Structure 1
């Protein structure tokens, strides 16, 4: 992973950074086709993987309680993947997030469990430390010019050592119930229901209305720029298919333990960061820098401040993940978060992020993280050893990156 875009890249900044490139150019058409294939391919692969493990586990994968457990167990990886995909789009990488999870969770445990402060003090302290980590690493990356790979590699060692120091080389457990509920709590019975939680169904139904409206607006916007769009029947079929799958998922949650608090947190972050990356100046500048650093610089993009913002945001989300992880386990451990950075990076690449930067979506990273979650959970239900799980996930990651590289080469030959 290179922190700088290739200065010889012939793609213009407008093509790389914005979906509003000239619809008549062969290059923009090729990029759109590759992007659509990348985005649709991972969704189809996810559906296929779910179907495969549903068969191999004799339906255990889709049992309501197991679906709830998957949401709870992998929520912190998905939160990290949201931040990591922005880092990767900008042409960087962050190897320190697992250590930051340990540090922030450890500090929260010391304040709440050991020192007796209210639970919310631990939450704010963890997020605050995450922001300080982002400031520290952002300074070295953005203003000193040290590549993010080196900066965060040093950060991985530094923050892991600080986590050991904060916890004095021991684990702390016994968070108060409000803190535990952040990672394990549920909305259940808020609106009643006969054998199911009506509130869960209502929340998902409202979300789907928003999704349908947003998709319709996006379709109209593409038509305004003379970009190709699906026909009305195809568009309606897609919305209906997504709605059916999502409401089935909601039905399973409603019949289990209700709507997890952590899913509300995760869903809110997905919505917020989807808007940030697609609708804001900062988001467009991140794509521009990752796609063509030279063009972004010449166009007046404040590269240093954007890179600083990228690392600051990653620190913030690492703090959030630290709270979720410690709340889920009801403990803080010096070795917590080991390997989380690899899972988050893998989720982004599997979800369609480009190795060279400039390409990726928050929703793609979430789907990529869910692929990893289903792989792990499915093989665990089958009783496969940890070694086999690691081999399979490694092969999936290689296949995803190879898919990106091959399609990029094909687009370049158009």
Structure 2
């Protein structure tokens, strides 16, 4: 019984995600509005909510440094998107050079924020709030309040295409990829499990390990089947997978990743232990600028336009995804896996309410309530642990 409680405690948000998904599926089916799990809707879920996963991955690093957030991410998306539209559509600059310049600008914007926060000790809330206003203003100035479109197909193919392009092999290809990916995840996880066990790390029971991997495999193969019945594997899904894998590895298996948790856990203790606390904070915000630039490139491709109003409330969705996924409001706690689960949760919430025809104002109210509930859960849990100890 105690083992069951531990499994539930460790996978609370995943179980809530499954329950919420089933509730939406029931409500959507009952209303006669098709299904949440149609092949076309799964593809839409991925493309519509890619920005949440990308930004929440970067936002997690900021939160880990001490519960800080970056309020300027949506404005950075608008500014870099405006630059992309100007370079690619108006100036006709080389696609690859334009993408490179946009990424550099994103890194510089993040470094600008990180400098004031890490080295001048400007509160993150104030620095990023100033950035939010400044970057949004520059986006309006660059575009002169206008929307630029359309982008050339040579640019759109990098973000909006599907693999494979041949419909005759689409289903078999996607299913094969899903099976191979499931096997790879199982083998890699098993190797890491054996390595941890050999050096004395505490690990979950083998039965729990098997059940978890079976569930993951079923989700991957099920998604592969649905994607195969639609247009194939979206290019954006490949980009998301690379980002999630790289940042999961960085936060969980590198020295700098461990330093992020140390800085958020106890800033003074980390500094006294020799951790470059200012450098780690600077890195977190510089990285946020980089991922905001990637999000901008993805977003302008999805909408096939660059607008000064782009990216509105993106930062709020990213922050909510992190806290919903288990990141602590105090910093030092959170995982990329949790941020992704939070991002998927936000996507299901947005998509489900849209299919049900719920008013946009009510959608904002619901997301606000969910965010508050997630933070309250974190605070209450932390207080309970302190009392018990």
* Residue 139 of structure 1: aligned partner: 115
Task: Give CA-to-partner distance per residue, 1:166-222, whole Å, 9 cap, x none.
Answer: 1121110110112222332111246952xx433322333332223212322343344
Correspondence for 1:393 among 358, 363, 367: 367
> Which piece of structure 1 moves more, 203-212 or 271-280?
203-212
- Contact preservation (8 Å) 1:39, 1:352: no
Cα separation, partners in 2 of 1:45 and 1:244, compared to 1, 3 Å: same
Task: Give CA-to-partner distance per residue, 1:21-42, whole Å, 9 cap, x none.
Answer: xxxxxxxxxxxx9997665011
User: What is the CA–CA distance in structure 1 between the aligned matches of 2:27 and 2:205, rounded to whole Å?
Assistant: 37
Pair 1:71-2:42 in alignment: no
Correspondence for 2:358 among 384, 395, 398: 384
Show the 5 A alignment for 1:307-386.
307-386=281-360
Show the 5 A alignment for 1:87-236.
87-91=62-66, 92-189=68-165, 192-193=168-169, 196-224=170-198, 226-236=200-210
CA deviation after TM superposition for structure 1 residue 118, in Å: 2.3
Cα separation, partners in 2 of 1:34 and 1:155, compared to 1, 3 Å: farther
Cα separation, partners in 2 of 1:36 and 1:101, compared to 1, 3 Å: farther
Query: Alpha carbon RMSD of aligned pairs, Å?
Result: 1.9
* Residue 27 of structure 1: aligned partner: none
Pair 1:84-2:69 in alignment: no
Pair 1:45-2:21 in alignment: no
CA deviation after TM superposition for structure 1 residue 228, in Å: 4.2
* Residue 60 of structure 1: aligned partner: 35
Cα separation, partners in 2 of 1:115 and 1:39, compared to 1, 3 Å: farther
- Contact preservation (8 Å) 1:119, 1:176: no
User: What is the CA–CA distance in structure 1 between the aligned matches of 2:330 and 2:289, rounded to whole Å?
Assistant: 22
User: What is the CA–CA distance in structure 2 between the aligned matches of 1:273 and 1:239, rounded to whole Å?
Assistant: 20
Q: TM-score, normalised on structure 1? A: 0.88
Cα separation, partners in 2 of 1:206 and 1:216, compared to 1, 3 Å: same
Aligned residue pair count: 380
Q: Secondary structure at the match of 1:144?
A: coil
Which segments of 5 or more consecutive residues in structure 2 lack a partner in the other structure? none
User: What is the CA–CA distance in structure 2 between the aligned matches of 1:170 and 1:241, rounded to whole Å?
Assistant: 47
CA deviation after TM superposition for structure 1 residue 380, in Å: 0.6
Correspondence for 1:241 among 199, 207, 215: 215
Which segments of 5 or more consecutive residues in structure 1 lack a partner in the other structure? 1-32
